[in-house]
Amino acid sequence: MSITPPFPCPCCEFLTYVSLPKGCHEICPVCFWQDDPVQAADSNYAGGANRVSLVTARRNFREHGAKDRLSLPHVRPPELCELPVSV
């Protein structure tokens, strides 16, 4: 069985990625996380494509609705088709 898009964003977990995250460089329209290969390998690394680490971005998304406050003007609510599927 092959894995097909959409894929969950590593930060907000909404199904917004067309490519498999692990360094695809896509930007999530829901949280504004840019997938980065270094941060995909080390979720505590701050820098690279994003100012904050993935760990911090996840916390920021839960608290503020974006990976960081500077990204708030660039985000949108998730669409129904982007909601994660419960297993």
pLDDT more than 90, % of the chain = 79
User: How much is the pTM?
Assistant: 0.90
Could you report the per-residue pLDDT of 26-62, keeping only the tens digit for each? 999 999 999 999 999 999 999 889 999 999 999 999 9
SS3 8: strand
- CA separation for the pair 4, 6 (Å, rounded): 6
pLDDT of 4 above 80: no
Give the per-residue pLDDT at 3: 65
Residue 76, token pair as written in the block = 């949108």
Give the per-residue pLDDT at 87: 47
